[in-house]
Each structure stands twice: as C-alpha cells, then as structure tokens.
Structure 1
Amino acid sequence: MSDRSEFTCTGVWSRERVESFLRETTVPLRLSCHTPAGRLWMLSLWYRYRDGRLWCATAADADVVEYLRADEEVAFEISTNDPPYRGVRGNGVAHVRSDGGKELLASLLERYLGGTESSLGDQLLDDNREEVRIEIEPRRAFSWDFSERMADAVDD
C-alpha cells in the first residue's frame, strides 16, 4: 500500500500535474481555518509537498496552532503571484505535530531562501524557539491555469 494520501483532484490538470506543481512551486501556501470562536482565519505559510501531504512549520505558540487543535478542518491555496495565474486550491484536515529537531523548518529555509545561514534562519532555528509541523492531508484539490486565456495579456 502506498503511503501517499489519496485525494480527489478536479480541474484542468491531472493528479500528476497537480503533484508536480505542488512539489516545484515555491510561493507560500495560504491556509484558512476556523478560530475557536467560529470566525474565519487565513495566513500564509511556507510548505513542502511530500507523500501526498502538505507540510508547513510555525512557532508552537502561534495562534493558528490553537485554532487547528480546536478544529482541524482547513482550506488551502497555492497559486502563482504573477500572470498567467495558475494554481491548486482545496480542503482537508490539518494535524499539529512537534518539530523538536526543526528538520522541517530547516528544509523550508533551504527551499525558500536557499539555506539556513541568515539572520532569519538564526532567529527561527534558535534553540529557545519551539517549533511545530502542520501536516495537511488534502481531501479535495482543484487546479486552474489561465495561461491560454491570458496569453495575449502578459509579456513573455
């Protein structure tokens, strides 16, 4: 049996193309969840796609950790910031886990900044900062790609 999460993919891309986009694209993931008071909350997080799941990292004392522990249902979007617009949005469940060794955080610094050697890296990897992983298990994903419809509206 595969360790890959099986989620429904609809939209313009095949599942393989969706997974390729998620692996290769290095824009932040936009995550939406509910607060314990039932209000909507959205934030952006660095992510990595692996084994059918989206993996994010944040400080253990971040508000979103409390929110996800109260309600694990989430929605997400990963889309390009520049035309032609394309991306993947969906929903699923999020699980908060310890990242005591900060391996995920270090890998995200490598992915987004090219390394851990920076003042931001020093701050985030500080021994006194407790880190958690947010594991998002997608249930449904929808892809879109406006490349054709925007072809004459953007410069190459």
Structure 2
Amino acid sequence: MNNPTIGNNISNKKIPVRIAFIKPDGTPNIISLWYEQIDGKIFCATQKSAKIVSYLQNNPKCGFEIATDTPPYMGTRGTGTAKIINDDGEKILTILMNKYLGDKKSILSEFLKNNSKSEIAIEITPSKIFNYDYSQRMKDV
C-alpha cells in the first residue's frame, strides 16, 4: 500500500489511538493517546519524560488501532514506524486540544497549556492499514 490512510468513518471521531509497542524487556504493551492524521501520518503528543518516548526510540516498530467501543463497530488498525519529534510537541498538542476539547476552558485544558513546553510529538508512519466498518451488519444492534 503506497499511502495508507485512516478510514473516513473514523478519522473525525474524538477517540484515542491505541499504540502497541515492545518494552526493552521484550514484553508488549499498549498506550492510548489523542491523535490527528496529517498528510497520511498519525501524530500524538506526550510529555518528554513519558516512558513511551524511550520505548519507541528503542524500538520504533508499532501497531495501532483507532476504533469505536460501542456498536456499530468501526475502526482502523495497522502497523507502522514511530519517530519522536522534540520540536513539534507544543504545536501538535495545540492541534489535539482543538480536536478533543475545542475552545472550552477546563481544568484539563489549563493543565495541558501550562505543561505544553515539555511536550514532544510522536509521528507514526503507517506501513499497513486495515479499515473496517460493521455498520451494515450491526444496523439493528
């Protein structure tokens, strides 16, 4: 697949991406983060001190899923390569806050703004994507 993208059925929903990664001891783990798709890549933001940063730097191969938790089930899952971008954290966080929180002032939005200087960006370049939508088969659920 040359330019895999997140399906239109899921890309604008305010749900997190679940990122699967391998810890240095070889065990798998998953983290949920806010995301936005920009130019075919998945972008997230997190604190520089978050363990996921060192885990992805150690092994950038990852899996991901963006999916609804209630019927009708739909989503996107795939694999890709993660890259840590130190200089774009604050910019990506602003994009994510607009998507997930809008203009609404809250304790969370103020906390995130106050800590935005120590954010980094995670860029995932998908290598394989599978989009699914079970709306038709679950329309009576």
Give the alignment's TM-score, normalised by structure 1. 0.82
Q: By how many angstroms is 1:90 displaced?
A: 0.1
4+ residue segments displaced more than 6 Å: none
CA distance in 2, matches of 1:19, 1:39: 30
Q: Which runs of 5+ in 2 are unaligned?
A: none
Q: Which runs of 5+ in 1 are unaligned?
A: 9-14
RMSD: 2.1
CA distance in 2, matches of 1:135, 1:30: 14
Question: Does the residue aligned with 2:100 lie in a helix, a strand or coil?
Answer: helix
Q: By how many angstroms is 1:116 displaced?
A: 6.4
State the partner residue of 1:139: 127
Q: By how many angstroms is 1:127 displaced?
A: 5.1
Number of aligned positions between the proteins: 141
Equivalent of residue 39 in structure 1, options 27, 50, 60: 27
CA distance in 1, matches of 2:2, 2:12: 19
State the partner residue of 1:82: 70
| More moved, 125-134 vs 68-77 | 125-134
Give the alignment's TM-score, normalised by structure 2. 0.90
Question: Does the residue aligned with 1:134 lie in a helix, a strand or coil?
Answer: strand
Q: By how many angstroms is 1:117 displaced?
A: 2.8
**What percent identity do the matched residue pairs reach?**
35
Q: By how many angstroms is 1:101 displaced?
A: 6.5
What is the letter of the counterpart of residue 150 of structure 1?
Answer: M
Which residues in structure 2 correspond to 1:41-56 (within 5 Å)? 41-56=29-44
1:38-89 superposed Cα distances (whole Å, 9 cap, x missing partner): 1101010000001010000001100100100100000000011221001110
CA distance in 1, matches of 2:89, 2:57: 21
Equivalent of residue 66 in structure 1, options 54, 75, 80: 54
Question: Does the residue aligned with 1:36 lie in a helix, a strand or coil?
Answer: coil
CA distance 1:128–1:74, change in 2 (3 Å): closer
1:87 touches 1:143 (CA, 8 Å); kept in 2? Answer: yes
